[in-house]
Structures are given as C-alpha cells and as structure tokens.
Structure 1
Amino acid sequence: MKKWLNNYFGFTKREYNGLLALMIILLLISMLPYAYAKFWVNTALISNEEHVAIQKLILVNQQEPNYYANMRKQVEDGEANPTTTLFKFDPNVIDVADWQKLGLSVKQAQSIVNYRNKGGKFYKPEDLKKMYTISSKKFEQLAPYITIENTNTKYIKQEYAKQAPYVKKELVIVEINSADTLQLDEIKGVGAAFARRIAKYRDKLGGFYKKEQLLEVYGLDSIKFNEIKDQIKIDATHLKKIKINTAEFDDLKNHPYLKYKQINAIIQYRKQHGKYNDVADLKKVAILTPQIIQTIAPYLIF
C-alpha cells in the first residue's frame, strides 16, 4: 500500500507515516463509545444491587416472556391489583375506597355502590357474584372474606364447595329496563351469566323499547327468547334519550345501532343545514337507511 501511495499520489515516507497515524487515531475515537458503554457504565454506574435486580428481570423474562404483559392487562381489566389488600368486609356497607383496596377499579366499585344506592342489597355472599362487574375469578378471591351483618348467613369455604340444591324458579314478571341483575336472575331460564349480559347491553342501548331486542344480546337465541318473553315487560319511560340537536360524537359513539361514519354524517348535516325538527329530517342524511332510522328513533329527542 505504501508503494502504491507513493506511485499514485507521490507521498513521501514521512507523509505516509503521518497519514497512517491519523487513521489509527480516528479508529480509536470511533471505538471509544462502545468501550465506555461496555467497561465504564456497567462497572461504574450500576451497583451490585441493581445488577442483581436486572439479572432477576432477565431470568423472569426468559422463563415467562409474557409475564409482565399479562400482569399489565389484568390490572387494566380490574382482575389484579398490585396493592390489593384482602380483609373481612360487608358488601352492603363498604364504600368505593374500600372496594378499591380489595382490588376493584374505580368504575367497578362505583357500579356496586350505585346498585346499593338504588335499594339493592346483598343477602348472601353468592349475591355478589351476580354483579356483572365482578368476575367469577374475583369472586373466588373475595368470597372467604365476605361477612354480611344482620343475617345468619356467613361464608364458610367448606360449605361453599358443596353444590347448592336445585330450586325450581316460580314464574315472575320482571320489568327489564329497571331491574338489577339479581331481579333479572329471578326470570326462569335466565341465570347469572345472562342476567349480566342483558344488563350490560341494556345500559349500552339506553334501555329496551321492545322485547325482540333481547335477541341482540350475545348468546340469547330464539329458543331462549321464547322461554322468557312471557316473563318480562317493558316500560319505555325508562329509556335513556339522546338530544340529537346538541349531541356530540362522544354522546353517540357507544350506541350499538350507530357506526362512526353515521355519527359524523348526523353531526355534519346538522352543522350545515341546522337543527332536526323530527325523525323525517334524518332521512335527508344519505348514509342513514330507513332501517337504522327506525331502530334509533325511540332513543332520540328533537
């Protein structure tokens, strides 16, 4: 290489040596960050305790790669809480803060308190399981700590393990727009799971205006509908209405009958052409079919 440089560029021996030294210095400078990260940061900035902690994290990640992702999802879903404190409690008495200590989210806790404020009451520990905000897994965790005052029923783990004897339900008539999950469970053919699904879908809709809407509840087919339809009644005065001339996107986004594009079209048409006077005006919104207008009309106020 030295001979080639001399022949091609006319470098002298002294110039060649200077160029070689400069290249070595540049190479050492480029390698300095890697050497710093490997030999200086690891030894000088990380204490022995921190090093041990990092090794433990690496070991957990190797043994169970999805461990931390699963834990984070459970916390978000209200199924786990790193700060959960289990203690003896009466579900008819404790407030939102105490429910949070037991591992429930604010939304879950407030739902139970709202149920009590409307006159709901837990007569036995198993009644808590019928709340759709309490999963089966969460109930299993809380059950040993439930103590209900003013009744002779106290939870005993050994007794709970025994299967409760089948009790034939008497036929009742239940108004489904105002009923809680415990009352819905009294309908023959509706168990705790369907009671929670019906209540959850009803809250999203804003109430039922006809019995056939129950067929929209997940898992409730025509056979189940025919079994329970004569045991229910509907009071349309309990419907939660939407003021269509002032409603914004957030007021409509969770309604099961409307999609995002339809909501935007309703709002944009109102901004461009003024208020809707009646249901007939909705027909002017091209994206809304007659069927959609018919299904949402009972929930609208003009």
Structure 2
Amino acid sequence: MRKKHYQKLALMGMLMIVLLAFQNYTGREKVTFPEVRFITENSLPLNLTDFDPNDLDAKQWEHLGFSEKQISTILNYKKMVGGRFISKEQLKKCYAVSPEKFAELESYLLLPETGKDPSSGKFKGYKKTEITVSRKFNPDGLSIADWMKMGFSEKQAEAILKYKNYLGGSFVSKEKFKECFIIASDNYSKLEPYLLLPAKTPDNFKNSTINYAVKSKIKYRSFDPNMAGLEDWKFLGFSERQAQTIVNYRDRNLQGTFKTLEDLQKCFVISPEKFQELKPYIKFTPTVDKKQETDFSKIDLNMITFKQLLEFGLDEKSAGSMIGFRKKLRGFVNKQQILDTYNIDKDLVQKLISIAPLDVSNVPKYTLTEAPEEWLKDHPYFKYSADKIIFYRTTYHEDKKILKLLKLKPEYEERMKLYLK
C-alpha cells in the first residue's frame, strides 16, 4: 500500500514539474519573428512594354526585379500548371509574385484576366507574332514602322527606340542590343545573324541612366538642306530610308523648301539630339524671289517630278496621286491613264497632258509566259489575276490561250494588253 502511495506521489510530482515548466515557457515575452518580405525594391526596366510571361527566360525575369529564388519558384510553378500561364489570375496565385509586384506588372501582361483549359477551345490568349527578317540591317536606322514590319507591336517598337535613346542614340553592339528587354532570347537568335553591329561593346563605352552621347565619327561641314539630296543626307549619318523621308518631307510637305530651322526640326526622323549636332552647320543659301519657269512642252509625263507638278498648279493630293499611280504602273503608256488616276484635278491634268509629251519607250512590257511573278502580283492591271496566270502558264505557253482561260471582261483584257509585248 505504501509503495503504491509513493508511486502516486512521484507521478504527481512529475506532473507538477511539467506544468511549472509549461507555465514558465508561456509566460515569457512573445518573440516576434521578422516579417517575410518579397524583394520589390527593383523598379521595372525603362523599356518595359507589353509582354507574354510565357516567353520570359530566367535572365528576363531577373530584369523585372525578381531574385534567383523567386525566379526558380516562378518557373517551377509554370511547369506545375502545365508549362504555360493561361491567365493573369493564374500568375497572380504564384506566391513568389507579391501583390505589389503583380500590381506593377498587371497592365503589361499579354494574358486574359481569367482563362480556361486551352484544349476546351474556349481559351482566347495572346497570339504571339512571328518575327521575320530576310536581310542584314543596322538597327540604329530603323523606325517604329520598320520594327512593326518585322512583327513587333507598336508599343514594343516604341520601347526598342526608347532603349536606343537610353544608350545615347545607338545600340553600339550586339551585346547591348541583346540587353533590350523586349527582345526575347528566341527573337534575338533570329535577328543576330542579320545585325550590322560589332559583336562586343567597346571598352570606352559608358552606359548611364541619362543619355550618353556617343561621339559621332562624321566630319560635318556646312550645307544647305534645300540643296541636299539623298546621298548628302546619308553622308550626314542617316539611313537610306531616313534620308528619303527627309527629301520627301521637304519636296512634298514643304513644296521643296525648308524656310526655317524649325521646318527642318519638325521632320520626325531627325531626333532632337541629331538636330543639335547639325544646327551649327546648316546654312540657308539666299534665294532670289523668282518663280521657276519650266517649259512643260518639253517635260516627259513619265519623268515629270512632284515639284514640277506643283509648279504647274496641281495640289499635293493630285500630284501625289499621279506620281504614285505612275510608279505602280512602271510608267504610263497612254495619256488616258493619267486622266483615269484617282484624286486628281482632271481639268488641270487635261491641260497638262495637252501640252506635255509622253515617252513610252522605257515602260517595261512582257509576255504572260515570261513576266516576273513580282511584277504580275504588284501591277494594278495584273495583280488580281496573277495567281491564275502563274498557274496556267505552267501548262500553256501562248498569251492568247492564257487570256482566254482567264475569262476577263473586255475592258480588263484591253488594259492588260497595254503592257504585253
């Protein structure tokens, strides 16, 4: 009996010790653990624009301000959800993307708000545009329109130019071009063989958040912008397309003359930085206030210029339409075609064609069996039948037989014959 009594006392003693220890532990001052925070201090890159998060590699996620561990989590999460994010809602659920960071990125994400399984056929995601390039080029000379023709969106094109300006007006090297956030790795791989840029960045290049002025190697000299032709503008550092734009702007928009520095400054392909470089060398040659007199009885209608048409009295719309239609035709073969041109002052043009001669000796003509495919598909009189012509001439080698198979209206056939041998 005593033995059992002592055992009970011992057990009670042990319980008291445990209770005291627990009370002592819970009575301590509560320890506060440091709050877990995601790294969000890194601001978004300067050239950020709309993007599909499915296209990003680890390096590009890093550009967005994520740590190595966060990037690993995001990429693993993408694998878990089937290898592709199908909505903003789904990406938001990734715990490595904090609510603050998601709020920064949300407006740039090329994803639907919510999504369903793509296999259901109800999912409408962002359709990725294929980037295409067929010849070597210097990216420094490309405009927004040029980048868009390659397959980039307008916002992406703007971002690329913004990045170029950030570098000081030149991509400098393939290395620097590759660092442009909007150029995804797979797109860079496509573009890299065609880039006319040095592979490595020069040692003396200093990047900065402010525009870094890349010293031009061009030795400028005084020039009159009203006398400068295509080659002159190219010598001043402009690409062929930019030079042509400047000449067209002067001849079409300003009727052949930059009257002030402000007129030149307004040309959109001349950046503010480039204008400041050129400004000390621009010298306007004093002109005698005398209207040019042209003998239109000696001006070939297939050679007459935009400026000469303005001098004759046509407005810019009429002159541009006439020159444009002539270019598509590769030359007029009769004067009636000129009168058939859209958006012209027919009375004034009738007066012009009654005075000026028309030389058709240099207008290209072909047989249907020998005509270049490009010519057929681009010429206003042939392009709507081009595919049929190309198909029929694989079997038939006579123009009469092909024309018969085309079953054209008589007036359309007669127009074609104007340019057939």
CA distance, structure 2, for counterparts of residue 149 and residue 243 of structure 1 = 51
Letter in 2 for 1:172: F
Whether 1:285 and 2:405 are equivalent positions in the alignment is yes
Partner in structure 1 of residue 362 of structure 2: 238
Contact 2:330 2:363 in 1 (8 A): yes
Whether 1:257 and 2:381 are equivalent positions in the alignment is yes
Contact 1:202 1:208 in 2 (8 A): yes
Q: Compared with structure 1, are the counterparts of its residues 273 and 40 closer, same or farther at alpha carbon in structure 2 (3 Å cutoff)?
A: closer
Contact 1:128 1:139 in 2 (8 A): no
Contact 2:318 2:345 in 1 (8 A): no
CA distance, structure 2, for counterparts of residue 39 and residue 225 of structure 1 = 64
- List alignment gaps of at least 5 residues for structure 2: 1-79, 82-86, 110-142, 170-215, 257-262
Deviates further, 140-149 or 170-179? 140-149
Whether 1:179 and 2:299 are equivalent positions in the alignment is no
Contact 1:130 1:182 in 2 (8 A): no
Task: Report how far residue 249 of structure 1 moved.
Answer: 4.1
- List alignment gaps of at least 5 residues for structure 1: 1-31, 59-70, 101-105, 114-121, 155-164
Partner in structure 2 of residue 158 of structure 1: none
Letter in 2 for 1:94: W
CA distance, structure 2, for counterparts of residue 201 and residue 37 of structure 1 = 53
Q: 1:94 aligns with which of 230, 233, 236?
A: 233
Task: Report how far residue 130 of structure 1 moved.
Answer: 6.3
Q: 2:96 aligns with which of 39, 44, 56?
A: 44
Partner in structure 2 of residue 229 of structure 1: 353
Task: Report how far residue 239 of structure 1 moved.
Answer: 0.8
Task: Report how far residue 220 of structure 1 moved.
Answer: 1.6
Letter in 2 for 1:285: L
Any idea what SS the aligned residue of 2:404 has? coil
Task: Report how far residue 236 of structure 1 moved.
Answer: 0.2
Any idea what SS the aligned residue of 2:395 has? helix
Q: How many residues align?
A: 220
Task: Report how far residue 234 of structure 1 moved.
Answer: 0.8
Contact 1:209 1:239 in 2 (8 A): yes
Partner in structure 2 of residue 63 of structure 1: none
CA distance, structure 1, for counterparts of residue 376 and residue 235 of structure 2 = 28
Partner in structure 2 of residue 300 of structure 1: 420
CA distance, structure 1, for counterparts of residue 233 and residue 403 of structure 2 = 50
CA distance, structure 1, for counterparts of residue 348 and residue 405 of structure 2 = 37
CA distance, structure 1, for counterparts of residue 383 and residue 253 of structure 2 = 33
Q: Compared with structure 1, are the counterparts of its residues 94 and 168 closer, same or farther at alpha carbon in structure 2 (3 Å cutoff)?
A: closer
Contact 1:283 1:293 in 2 (8 A): yes
Letter in 2 for 1:246: E
- CA deviations on 1:260-298 (whole Å, 9 max, x unpaired) are 3x323333332222243xxx5554334133322321223
Task: Report how far residue 253 of structure 1 moved.
Answer: 1.6
Contact 2:367 2:420 in 1 (8 A): yes
Task: Report how far residue 206 of structure 1 moved.
Answer: 1.3
Q: Compared with structure 1, are the counterparts of its residues 299 and 139 closer, same or farther at alpha carbon in structure 2 (3 Å cutoff)?
A: farther
Q: Compared with structure 1, are the counterparts of its residues 192 and 238 closer, same or farther at alpha carbon in structure 2 (3 Å cutoff)?
A: farther
Partner in structure 1 of residue 340 of structure 2: 216
CA distance, structure 2, for counterparts of residue 47 and residue 72 of structure 1 = 34
Contact 1:209 1:236 in 2 (8 A): yes
Q: CA RMSD in A?
A: 5.0
Letter in 2 for 1:99: F
CA distance, structure 2, for counterparts of residue 176 and residue 291 of structure 1 = 24
Any idea what SS the aligned residue of 1:44 has? coil
Any idea what SS the aligned residue of 1:212 has? helix
Task: Report how far residue 169 of structure 1 moved.
Answer: 6.6
CA distance, structure 1, for counterparts of residue 392 and residue 308 of structure 2 = 42
CA distance, structure 1, for counterparts of residue 362 and residue 318 of structure 2 = 21
Identity rate, percent: 18
CA distance, structure 2, for counterparts of residue 269 and residue 38 of structure 1 = 54
Higher helix share: 1
Alignment of 1:1-302 (within 5 A): 37=90, 40-41=93-94, 43-45=95-97, 50-51=101-102, 53-54=104-105, 57=108, 76=148, 82=158, 83=161, 90=225, 91-92=228-229, 93-95=232-234, 98-100=237-239, 108-109=241-242, 126-127=250-251, 129=253, 140-141=267-268, 145=275, 152=285, 172-173=296-297, 174-186=299-311, 188-247=312-371, 249-260=373-384, 262-276=385-399, 280-281=400-401, 283-301=403-421
